[in-house]
Structure 1
């Protein structure tokens, strides 16, 4: 009798377990009722010149230190056949001359050639130069053939073995400064090419602004941006572009802060400056990290327009980075900083009859850029920030009452700095407050409800910088792994569910050179030839491409889906495409079968389901496998008002249904 009883109990337990394991979770979506409108700026991109994101990255210039303005004026340049420690030169020597009359570009290179066949001047590029077989490259330089004895300047691509991979030449015809251009074609693909310059004739010649760009750039703009990188941004359909940072806005000192007026006008008159990330991290020293500002504020505005994003510039508020010097401009001396903000708005939006509107027009964009947002300060905190913010806010609102001002709550999402900042900004009726969070993946899953309790009548939120850290903040070992990406997706459902409060969001940092980064993780990785989106990129793209126009309620047992059964969810309607879009994140190690009960609408028979998943928490995309973790799209057959879904373990699923 006992064995039979035990057998019966066991069988009964197995049957019950089977029933429970097959029990399906039901989520309910009310498609007929809009909770709030979703801002067009809900998902955007944040650009900062860190990790060689500008020079050596998005800005397609291939010559490092093209105008000899680095602190070591010949950094990036080699003259291998010249003994630079001796004045008795067999082949020749290149030295730099400082012209104090030129305030923004004072240095140029003077080359003395004693033996034309022996002297070489070589530029190493940004960790090399990426060239592609049969692609065309445009070279430009300034030269003064002072003695008239140099007959020709020969320019070549070479590889590490000095094999020539493309060649052109220039005939310097003038003793005075003159601009010269030439084009040549690469004969093979090489990630680590260098630019070699040799001469015909002997004597002396002066050189400056030696510049090289691929002919193929984004929108085929001369001396423009890297096409492959901009394409990744364009494909995200971002609602805004925040620029130029980030801590780079503040500078380690006030002298090193970002000054937008120095980044507009003729490129060759823009003043080269050290990048604040040049010396920040011991784990990744980058003494060759400078800013040419070839990618300046005009180009940022133009890029925002190109990718369909609203521009969001952030300006210094007179406080250097508080993690470094914390240098302060006295309140009585703040006027030039405030004027910079007012002049920037005029540069972006002013008519042709305004001084800065004319500068914009003269640069090739007579139409205004339609700037609506401006940020004051980056990650500042404490009473000094609030005092300065008040000054900026009054001046901006007095002249431009419709301009929306973004303020900041400091570098952390909690703690004394944050609490003080939020309290004071609420008193000021601040419009939008920028919050930053770099935390472990678990924090992102646990904080999907962060904004559920925020005051709907208080300041709106800009989640301006966030990224899950697989190891720890600032660790060089952080990875763009799948656990980080789907944990961010879980958090993002909470951002979307709280669209009444959350108006803008962006992952950070955006870009990283594979051999010249300072900070990890990063959304898009590139080398001199290729670029790819991380798993985090595809999460951002999925949400941005499917943000919708109207927020809907999605619930389980009447409550928002914020981690019950390891599920996180949000739902929207897109009034333009006439779709209902449901986003569901399964953070469980097991697949789950669920039903989505869609009440209030009738649907067409064919929908779309998009799945982003990977079986291993540590999985990453790479140059070898750039789309290892990328969305898979398929047709979904709709049956009535209920959608049955199988959610893979560790997955992000987007269901799109057309309304009849």
Structure 2
């Protein structure tokens, strides 16, 4: 038993509260990886909460619940970006990664069928490599690409193939086939390049069978020499059916969250291990053929999950991030390098006298997002198909840097941006941890600078999340606003490959989120991290959404996030027991809000004990409460329960009708998060 926690809970037994028309309560907590303590004594009487509808504490920002995207765990290439060919332009440091030739061709150029050689244009353009294929026999020479841990193929779906090619000698036909592990053809088409000038050739075919791990073969027929580049294959069912677009099922899961913002492109990926390998947004826009490939900084970061074939094609670049934000109805929140490489790696610093190009990147990005089409970067946006501005309001400087060098660089960015764009909201960072020397220094210095929004990160045990539900209760209401930019309960330890997306961790996050919502006056943005993980290509756990080449599923953590984000409300209200907030008394956590747009009271309840608990609501400041409401419940009797590909709905929300005609009382099931929505009429006197 965690006696320290139990003592703390006993001290809070008299402190509980409801506030507003949205209520969230969490019951129970434990050490990391263990179930909530079932021996926690529960009061025999009902928990009585007062909600004062007419005394809103603060507006809940539209950005309160958002999405954080980082290209980790194959989240972009091999994930949300639907390209199926790995290393399509032969630009990886080992340019044939992802490609296989006939066995003898790996060691010799004497195979009877032919051979291939990578040719470099000697820096003529970002995409400087192409493949020269010499076909020596009429039939037989073949290249194979297995995609990202295989290619997921759906029966009956159209697949769109494209390739840049030129025929230097003879005449070759490229027979393009998707095949399964036994060699059965799932779909095929042919391309016959003509002439010695580069051209883009396209063809499509319909798949005849579903396959999780198909491979693509390009079999060359006819003697000759042909050059190829930008070999590409996309499913036709992309998000909004955009050619060369995003994987629809993954974007749909994001859209279902109704996010208030999209933070991109990371995360530590912004910083790079070295400054030369930092994320540079200007290299990710324009024609995808001209975007410069970069090794992913997570490729060999963790010895437990090395992925040396992990690169960024930037088919998903800054234009696509802005477009995705627009699709989701979310505020775009780009994060830029501040001139410091990842401090967990090299910590390389750009000298202060050489910082100008980094600041210029920030200024140019604002123009790219918001500038008129007559401006240089606004014209680039328009030429990419979006003449209207993206109306970017936020920009982040640095990811989770710390120390004096960060503060020095932040000051330069802040001064320059505000001089030209005073309305732009700048997000700063307090470092990688929620406490300690680094955090204290950063917060103190940023407060001196009157920073607008400070990004805090928390990767901690479930117990930490339970015990810090009151973290922001005493934050200065007149100080900087908070962005809880990265958080997730670690069931084992930070970055452990054994972390689980289990119900215990999700429940702890729900408890913490009640504190975020209750303190909406201070906390303006929040997001779980990381977002995506490929079942066979991940580096970090836990993650919000898991996927393989064909399917995806939402974790219990996702469902917690969704219940909060889709039941946000407009104003947080006082929710109290004995004149105090509910932050752990009887193992309960709670928050409440009203939605003035829908005229509803929304009550969020989480019971993380093994016992059912009754909640009596004294809702003050209303003339009438609806006789019935909708109660959405997320629960499991086993705190180690996880969703999976085999059982994606082991934990999933269930809607119930609740009768309130006999009084405002609801029951919280054991180990559950519940959300009640009920109509009301407010007392206008």
Which band: TM-score by shorter chain? over 0.9
Deviation at 1:22, TM superposition (A): 4.8
Deviations 1:290-341 (A, max 9, x none): 0000000000000000011000000000000000000000111100000000
Aligned to 1:461: 482
Q: Judge conservation of contact 2:629–2:678 (CA < 8 Å) in 1.
A: yes
2:312 aligns to what? 291
The residue that corresponds to 2:399 in the other structure is: 378
Instruction: Establish whether residue 99 from structure 1 lines up as the match of residue 121 from structure 2.
Output: yes
For 2:506 and 2:588, the matched residues in 1 are separated by: 15
Determine helix, strand or coil for the equivalent of 1:443. Answer: helix
Quote the offset at 1:101 in angstroms.
Answer: 4.6
Asked whether the equivalents of residues 333 and 395 of structure 2 are also in contact (C-alpha less than 8 Å), the reply is yes
Matched residue, 1:4:
none
1:50 — aligned with what?
72
Aligned to 1:337: 358
Equivalent pair of 1:82/1:90 in contact (CA under 8 Å)? no
8 Å Cα contact 2:575/2:581 also seen in 1: yes
Paired residue secondary structure (1:449): coil
The aligned counterpart of 1:16 is none
Query: 1:279: how far off?
Result: 1.4
CA–CA separation in structure 1 for the residues paired with 2:44 and 2:458: 38
Q: SS state of the match for residue 615, structure 2?
A: strand
Query: What is the match of residue 31 of structure 2?
Result: none
> Counterparts of 1:149 and 1:233 in 2: how far apart (Å)?
47
Tell me how far apart the structure 1 counterparts of residues 322 and 170 of structure 2 sit (CA, whole Å). Answer: 43
- SS of match in other structure, 2:117: strand
Q: What does residue 77 of structure 1 align with?
A: 99
Q: Taking CA–CA contacts closer than 8 Å with sequence separation of 6 or more, which of the two structures ends up with the larger relative contact order?
A: 2
**Aligned residue among 153, 169, 173 for 1:147:** 169
- Residue 610 (structure 1) aligned with residue 637 (structure 2): no
1:59 counterpart = 2:81:
yes
Tell me if 1:318 matches 2:324.
no
Name structure 1 gaps, 5 residues minimum. Answer: 1-19
Preserved CA contact (<8 Å) 2:139 2:222: no
* SS state at 2:625 partner: coil
Render the CA deviation track for 1:510-534: whole Å, top value 9, x for unaligned.
Answer: 0000000000000000000011110
- How far 1:148 moved relative to its partner? 3.7
Match of 1:481 among 502, 505, 508: 502
Match of 1:514 in 2: 535
Task: Give CA deviations for 1:53-111 in whole Å, capped at 9, x if unaligned.
Answer: 00000000000000000011011000125432123221111111011152200100111
Pairing 1:652–2:681 present: no
Mapped pair 1:169 → 2:190: yes
Q: 2:49 aligns with which of 27, 31, 56?
A: 27
CA deviation profile, 1:149-189 (whole Å, cap 9, x unmatched): 21x21100011111111111112122211110000111100
1:596-635 aligned within 5 A: 596-601=617-622, 602-635=624-657
Correspondence for 2:240 among 200, 219, 224: 219
CA distance in 2 between counterparts of 1:84 and 1:611 reads: 57
8 Å CA contact retained: 1:217, 1:227: yes
What is the Cα deviation at residue 551 of structure 1? 0.7
Find the aligned partners of 2:240 and 2:533 in 1 and give their Cα distance. 22
Structure 1 residues 435 and 21: CA distance shift in structure 2, 3 A: closer
Secondary structure of the corresponding residue to residue 639 of structure 2: coil
Q: Which structure 2 residues correspond to residues 542-621 of structure 1 after superposition, within 5 A?
A: 542-601=563-622, 602-621=624-643
* Structure 2 residue runs without a partner (length 5+): 1-41
- d(CA) in 1 for partners of 2:269, 2:293: 14
Is contact 2:599–2:679 with CA below 8 Å preserved after alignment? yes
Q: Aligned to 1:245, which of 266, 289, 306?
A: 266
Q: Aligned partners of 2:651 and 2:289: how far apart in 1?
A: 42
Aligned counterpart, 1:118: 140
Counterpart secondary structure, 2:416: helix
Number of residues of Structure 1 aligned to a counterpart in Structure 2: 639
Kept in 2: contact 1:352–1:361 (CA 8 A): yes
Q: TM-score, normalised by structure 1?
A: 0.96
Q: Distance in 1 between matches of 2:43 and 2:478?
A: 44
| 1:410 counterpart = 2:431 | yes
Cα shift readout 1:43-62 (whole Å, capped 9, x = no counterpart): 00000000000000000000
Offset at residue 124 of structure 1 (A): 0.8
| More displaced stretch, 492-501 vs 604-613 | 604-613
**Structure-2 residue corresponding to 1:136:** 158
2:182 and 2:117 map into 1 onto residues whose CA distance is 26
In the alignment, the residues of structure 1 paired with residue 220 and residue 138 of structure 2 have an alpha-carbon distance, to the nearest angstrom, of 6
* Preserved contact between residue 490 and residue 499 of structure 2 (Cα < 8 Å): yes
RMSD: 1.0
What secondary structure, in the 3-state scheme, does the structure 1 residue paired with 2:638 have?
Answer: coil
Q: Aligned equivalents of 1:605 and 1:148: distance in 2?
A: 81
